[in-house]
Structure 1
Amino acid sequence: MKPNFWQTKNFISLFLYPLTLITFSINFLKKLNIKRNFKIKTICIGNLSAGGTGKTSLAVELNELLKDKFKTVFIKKRYINQKDEYNLLKKRGKIISSNSRIDALKAAEKNFDLAILDDGLQQKNIKYDLKIVCINSYEGFGNNFLLPAGPLRENSSELKNYDIVFLNGFKKNQKIKKKIKKINKNLKIFDSIYEPTNFKEYNIKNKFLFFCGIGNPHEFENTLKKFKFKIKEKFIFPDHYSISDEIIDNIKDKANKNKLKIITTEKDFLRLAKKQQKDINYLKVKLKIQNINKLKKFLKSKI
């Protein structure tokens, strides 16, 4: 979960502000690297802010749009705590995961036409054909401070170097759009919302308990509420949290005592052990992109 002080300029964020020089310096040094070209076409989907912004969901949607034209592959840098995202991508297409994105791209060149990278905008030694930034429409840039005083992995001014912005979430944030255009008037901005695809499997007359350990848990809760799920209990954990048997048993006991159905995200479900998954359902969602034809036209001109 993201700290609340990231959203405003307050005593804690101002106290930590001098430490942002470390993040700034690291980013500056990264820019000195020589960019490497690859034979394969590349789309990198990243974010400026730490935490969940919809990168993986967007990677899946772009793959659906482009897989008939190109032989596509997902590239996901290997992190021990991100097996959930790896498993989600693996269900949707081919994937290459490595400790090095450069090594993954070398491998991808041999058999594929187009690589879709889930994260990697802050890796400055790779020349990407298309650079996409995902922003959570509810949180935006927070207090606009770099880590650790704020949520930004790099300055929002870096938007001048990117091609597309996706504002993901239910909130229509015109303030963020104006700020983005002020930084880079040529950036294409698209809105998208999370839409359940297995909604008909649920009886919304039931009462529900939900749990999740994702970057933006409020988006999952907003989705459930938007589609009229009656939420009576919730358990929220840090992003990529590994839930113990004891916690799962506690969740199931609470649900049984209060006659609640248990629901979670697909990412959280895939993170559970097989025995933990019993009596737990997940809401499968897709990122519904607004003005999809405009996006297709843009992608055709760039890729």
Structure 2
Amino acid sequence: MSLLDRVKSSIEQGWYKSAWHNIWLLPLHWLFWVVVLVRQVVYALFPPKAVNAPVIVVGNVSVGGTGKTPLITWLVERAHAQRLTVGIVSRGYGGKSDKYPLWVGQDTPISQCGDEPWLLHNRLGCPVVVDPVRRRAVEALTGKVDIILSDDGLQHYSMPRVAEIVVVDAKRGLGNGWLLPVGPLREPAARLQNVDCVIRNGEDFVLEPQGLKNAKTLSEMEPSALQGQKVHAVAGIGNPGRFFQTLRDMGMEPIEHAFGDHHPFVADDLKFEDEHPIVMTEKDWVKCRDLVEDNAWFVPVDPVFNKATRRKLDKLLTTWGEKRNG
């Protein structure tokens, strides 16, 4: 690990300790706070021009994985059950295309669209449009779907929206409560008071494994199939620890291999000196499916909500679906 990587890791670990751990970054914290405040004031005074489509943002106020992608998957499936058509817009983090807006298809390279947009399109089959300027992606979908979901983009104020859902990791919370880079927050915690729903992963819903799928053949095994076995647990997500704990809960003995969020995997990352199976997240499988052998598996997960949260999300979809359809 390089010196830069060690410093970055130390800073990120400090987000979930006392703020004194990163106090040396205080000047950058105040600069970031000023930038956040100015942006909020500017867009409050000069709000973006409305578009003829209801946009619901699914985002967070902190850096790192909170469970947005499984939530978006569930929302799309629930909307389809209500006979609503849905499109998804995304920045396409980790991807770079020569042309935007980029409509994601089965043959779209991950290097162009990013891992999460490809995963969402592959699993749901609904339109997914990638553009660093999310408003352009929204305009590309306008008139083609009933509801647009934005994968992240809570702080992308140039994109109009009718509702905001914020996902928070119940275990890690908001860390030390400070803005970047002293803490993990993109905006002050008070921002949560102005959103439509705050949903806590681990309290309002849990992520339930849906068995194991072979990374090469997509054949399925029961969740208990690797119970009691050592496995190489590979995770390039915002909170690898949560995935490793999921594997323990499934009865496996994970040998942990944590990578940075959206890590661009290469074959050497997945070569180990034994024959233990490799188990990864579905998001990592998207990038690793051409790099692995038959002993590699991934774990699809679905959110399971408590009744109150389920009703709240259903009401949100129904409300904007009815408004869209008159």
Interval containing the TM-score (normalised by the shorter chain): 0.7 to 0.9
Of 52, 68, 74, 1:61 maps to 74
Code of the aligned partner of 2:128: I
Higher deviation after alignment, 236-245 or 287-296: 287-296
Of 240, 245, 251, 2:267 maps to 245
| Paired residues of 2:267 and 2:291 also in contact (CA < 8 A) | no
- Write out aligned runs for 1:12-31 (5 A): 12-31=21-40
Q: For residue 183 of structure 1, what is the aligned residue in structure 2?
A: none
Give the distance between the partners of 2:191 and 2:293, measured in 1 at CA.
41
Higher deviation after alignment, 27-36 or 89-98: 27-36
Residue 174 of structure 2 aligns to a residue in which SS? coil
Q: What runs of 5+ residues in structure 1 fail to find an aligned partner?
A: 173-190
- Tell me if 1:296 matches 2:319: no
Q: What runs of 5+ residues in structure 2 fail to find an aligned partner?
A: 1-8, 96-112, 213-221, 322-326
Code of the aligned partner of 1:297: K
Per-residue CA distance 1:146-165 (angstroms, 9 max, x = gap) = 00000000000111220101
| Paired residues of 2:235 and 2:259 also in contact (CA < 8 A) | yes
Deviation at 1:205, TM superposition (A): 4.1
Residue 261 of structure 2 aligns to a residue in which SS? coil
| Paired residues of 2:88 and 2:150 also in contact (CA < 8 A) | yes
Code of the aligned partner of 1:73: G
| Paired residues of 1:211 and 1:235 also in contact (CA < 8 A) | yes
Q: For residue 229 of structure 2, what is the aligned residue in structure 1?
A: 206
Of 61, 74, 80, 2:94 maps to 80
Please provide the CA RMSD for this pair: 2.0
Q: For residue 55 of structure 2, what is the aligned residue in structure 1?
A: 42
Code of the aligned partner of 2:230: K
Deviation at 1:273, TM superposition (A): 5.2
Deviation at 1:129, TM superposition (A): 1.1
- Write out aligned runs for 1:75-224 (5 A): 75-81=89-95, 83-91=114-122, 92=124, 93-169=126-202, 172=203, 191-199=204-212, 200=222, 202-224=225-247
Of 266, 274, 295, 2:282 maps to 266
Give the distance between the partners of 1:228 and 1:273, measured in 2 at CA.
24
| Paired residues of 2:19 and 2:183 also in contact (CA < 8 A) | no
Per-residue CA distance 1:92-134 (angstroms, 9 max, x = gap) = 2321112211110111003111101001110122331110101
Identity %: 27
| Paired residues of 2:235 and 2:258 also in contact (CA < 8 A) | yes
Higher deviation after alignment, 61-70 or 129-138: 61-70
Deviation at 1:302, TM superposition (A): 5.1
| Paired residues of 2:52 and 2:143 also in contact (CA < 8 A) | no
Give the distance between the partners of 1:210 and 1:4, measured in 2 at CA.
21
Code of the aligned partner of 1:300: T
| Paired residues of 2:58 and 2:72 also in contact (CA < 8 A) | yes
Residue 25 of structure 1 aligns to a residue in which SS? helix
Deviation at 1:276, TM superposition (A): 2.9
| Paired residues of 1:137 and 1:167 also in contact (CA < 8 A) | yes
Give the distance between the partners of 2:296 and 2:231, measured in 1 at CA.
11
Residue 274 of structure 1 aligns to a residue in which SS? coil
Q: For residue 4 of structure 2, what is the aligned residue in structure 1?
A: none
TM-score, with structure 1 as normaliser: 0.85
Higher deviation after alignment, 217-226 or 40-49: 217-226
Residue 57 of structure 1 aligns to a residue in which SS? helix
Code of the aligned partner of 1:130: A
Residue 12 of structure 1 aligns to a residue in which SS? helix
Code of the aligned partner of 1:12: H
Give the distance between the partners of 1:216 and 1:58, measured in 2 at CA.
16
